[in-house]
A and B are shown apart, each in its own frame.
Chain A
Amino acid sequence: MELTSQFAIWGLIAGMLVLNFALRFIPLAVLSRISIPEPLMRWLSYMPIAVMGALIATEVLLPALDTFFNEVRIYQEALPYAECGSTTPVPYPIFFMPLPGILGVIAAMVTYRYTKSFIGGTLAGVVVFALLQLLVGA
């Protein structure tokens, strides 16, 4: 199967190599040679935690919210076709959808807090997430 031309693929590989390297290397090369002004230092010191907060929210809360809104929409679209007088309850699992992610995050945080081990925290998060996902049936 040939969906994309060989030329385009090699071009993409080369282009990604050059540009990704430039993005990462140039700031490092320049800023590690000069004295960084204090306000910029302070700004940069908040960068790691801001990125982590953003990534956790993006990868855990947003997919959960997406699923939730989708399910609600499907449910609402199905409503007019429900029999008259029947009260179809909102299927309860949709309220629990964000739970595996959120509790997985909490498990990872608590485990890291007490063990100081990244691998321990990661595994605890994965185990809690997997078990709860089975329970919720997502």
Chain B
Amino acid sequence: MEISQNIELKQFTAGLRSGFPIFLGYLPVGLAFGILACDYGFTPLQAILASAFALSGVGQFVALTTLVLSESIVASVLASTIVNLRYILFSASLSPHLQGLKYRTLAWIGFTTTDESFAINSAEIRELRASPSSIIGVGTVGWLGWVLGTTGGTIGAQFLGDLSAFGIYFAMPAMYAALFIALASNRKQIYCGIGAGIIVLILYGLNLLGLGLETYWFTVITAIVAASLAVWIFPKEKNAKKGTDTPGNDVCGKVAKSTVEDDVQ
């Protein structure tokens, strides 16, 4: 099957729609970044460009704090990169479903990959609803939310009062919870997800005992350990036909078939 290299409007719009929770979740956090950046001496334009170019929630906050503390460009860029190392895992994990796309399509998909867009796209791939166009839509709506939120923050969030009273900062964890269920397609996946939660608690416990690990390392370490344990504990089943797992010339949606077969057992 030939992949359409053009953006299909219908699927793109579907992507915008499924990415809408990301938009909502990013507004308040982007707002907070806008306020903080201006406090730290960014002009509104600089704050907005930082968000538009980096699109990395925690990474940007860490960069900002490091810049103020150290005045060193290298230190702050490095700090934000370390926080964002998990993007390597996200991109790698999406890549089997994006075989054969043009580099400029991949560039935009990569550019807009975040925890949230990764999660929504993974869930949609699993439910056979994803296509390159919908993935682009999900990334785009998230990017818009982040940039608009930051813009709002730079033009005075004092009018909005204390948003935390409305629990709006819980939008992201709530979305992760919904996504967890969307991804929990079989027992092995569920155990892996719960295992990851337990590993986080273990790391927290080790920190209490004096390990001194920054929290932003938790996701990377946990994801690597949990996925490795899952591969090690759950061997490949016999009925997984040879070839179903190889990406070949898979398109989004089509490739997820192998995952579904995997789930039936």
Contact = CB atoms under 8 A, between A and B. Distances in A.
Interface of A: 1-5, 8-13, 15-17, 19-21, 23-33, 35-36, 38-39, 41-62, 65, 69, 100-101, 104-109, 111-113, 118-127, 129-130, 133
Contacts of B197: 53-54, 56-57, 61
Given A28-B106, A43-B228, A50-B230, A19 B174 contact: no
A90 B103 CA distance: 60
A8 B184 CA distance: 44
Which interface residue of A9, A21, A50, A129 has the most chain B CB atoms within 10 A? A50
Contacts of B184: 49
A23 B81 contact: yes
Given A23-B85, A61-B201, A109-B178, A122 B171 contact: yes
Contact of B230 (A8, A15, A46, A61): A46
Given A27-B91, A48-B123, A49-B192, A12 B77 contact: yes
B68 A49 contact: no
B110 A24 contact: yes
B32 interface: no
Nearest to B248: A35
Interface string B20-43: 110011000000000000011110
Interface residues of B, number: 110
Given A118-B120, A122-B25, A122-B174, A20 B80 contact: yes
Given A13-B54, A32-B98, A52-B179, A24 B111 contact: yes
Contacts of A21: 107, 110-111
Contacts of B178: 108-109, 111-112, 118, 120-122, 125
B24 to A, nearest CB: 7
Interface string B161-181: 000011110111111111111
Interface in B219-265: 219, 222-223, 226-228, 230-231, 236, 245-248, 259, 262
Contact of A54 (B96, B100, B109, B219): B219
A57 B218 CA distance: 10
B238 to A, nearest CB: 14
Interface of B: 18, 20-21, 24-25, 39-42, 46, 49-50, 53-56, 59-60, 63, 67-68, 71-74, 76-77, 80-81, 84-96, 98-101, 103, 106-107, 109-111, 113, 115, 118-120, 122-123, 165-168, 170-184, 188-190, 192-201, 204, 208, 215, 218-219, 222-223, 226-228, 230-231, 236, 245-248, 259, 262
A54 to B, nearest CB: 4
